[in-house]
Every structure is written in structure tokens, then in C-alpha cells.
Amino acid sequence: MKAILKTLYDFDETDQSYILRLSVNNYTDIFNTLDNYPIRKRDIHPGVTNYLEDCSFDIPLSRNIKIEFRIKNELRNADLEERTRKGIRNYFLYQREIIRKNSNANITKSLVYLLVFFSLIAVTFTLENIRYPINRVFFRTILEGLSIGSWVFLWEAIAVLAFKNRKYRYLRRVYQRLSNTHLVFKY
């Protein structure tokens, strides 16, 4: 795997990190042109975001990455570099926060499913102890439906926690790495 990654991405032996290289004309090309906020609050251009995310998905989270921007049509500007660093960091921290909120919503949804499971199973056990149903077939059908419904809610709670939330845990780690990555500017 390591050899394949080294053919796809440059590797810096000094700090043991993979280098993601991007070439832009100006600092502002890194950011979304429709966003008029200052650079430190601006969204990153969708093409840049997709490239960085795709590369980050390729490289295991245990490995370091470094992003190298080659700015073609501008001279070095320390202030713009620093604002660009803050803008990229803020963007990925914001994405991480959105993922955290979605993950928390999934956990809440799973807890609601568990509550519904326990409620349905309690109703099922309570109704099973009643011995004088008017229509026995109808009553057994209701009990079976409640029992099956309770297990469906239990399964959904487990699925949300174990499987659907896994994606969010991974994405949070990806965005954390991208927000903390070292940015290099070359001219």
C-alpha cells in the first residue's frame, strides 16, 4: 500500500508526510468565488475541496499529509498566506462540526428507537398476561405485530449506532486531519 501511495503522491521523507499539490493563479482561486466573506471565513472552492477530500480518503488516517499550493500570478504575501491558512482551517473545522451534529442527531434517533422498542416490548408483555380476549385471533395478531415492531426498532437503533454512525466517525477524523495539516505556499 505504501509503495502505491508513493507513486500517486509525493512523499516528504523529512516529516514523513504525503504532499498534496495544487496549482492556482491567485490566492482567491482557492476559495469559492460566489462567497464574499473575508478569506478567513470563506468557503473553499468545491473543486479544491473535492480534490483534498479524495486525496485524504486515499491516504490512511495514520499518515501525515501536507498541502502545497503553487501560486502562479502573485508574489509572496505573508498576510494573505496567514488568512488563507485560517480560512482553510476554519472551513474544515466547520465541516467537522457539521459531521459532529449529524452524528449526534443519529445518536438521538437511535435512543428514540430504543425507547420505542422498550415501550412496545412492555406493551406486548403486558397484553400477553391478559387471558380474556374477545377475539383470540385478532388479539394474537396484535401481539405478534407489536413484538415484530419492537424488534424492528431495536435493529434500527443498532444499525444507526453501529453502521450509519461509523461513516461520521471516519469523516470527523478526515476533517480534523485536513484542518490541522501543514500548508506550504510556493511561487
Percentage with pLDDT > 70 across the chain: 96
On average, the pLDDT of the chain sits at 90
What is the pLDDT, as a whole number, of residue 61? Answer: 93
Question: At 91, which amino acid appears?
Answer: Y
What is the pLDDT, as a whole number, of residue 158? Answer: 95
Decide if pLDDT at 140 tops 90.
Answer: no
More confident residue, 3 or 97: 97
Decide if pLDDT at 162 tops 70.
Answer: yes
Percentage with pLDDT > 90 across the chain: 68
The residues near 70 (Cβ < 8 Å, ≥ 6 apart) are 21, 22, 23, 24, 186, 187
- What φ, ψ does residue 52 adopt, rounded to 5°? -65, -40
For the chain, the domains span 2-98+179-186, 102-170
Scan for cell 461513516, then name that residue.
167
More confident residue, 109 or 1: 109
pLDDT digits (tens, 9 = 90+) for 71-130: 998 899 899 899 899 999 999 999 999 999 999 999 999 999 999 999 999 999 888 887
Query: 3-state class of 171 per DSSP?
Result: helix
Compute how many other C-beta atoms are within 10 angstroms of the C-beta atom of residue 154. Answer: 17
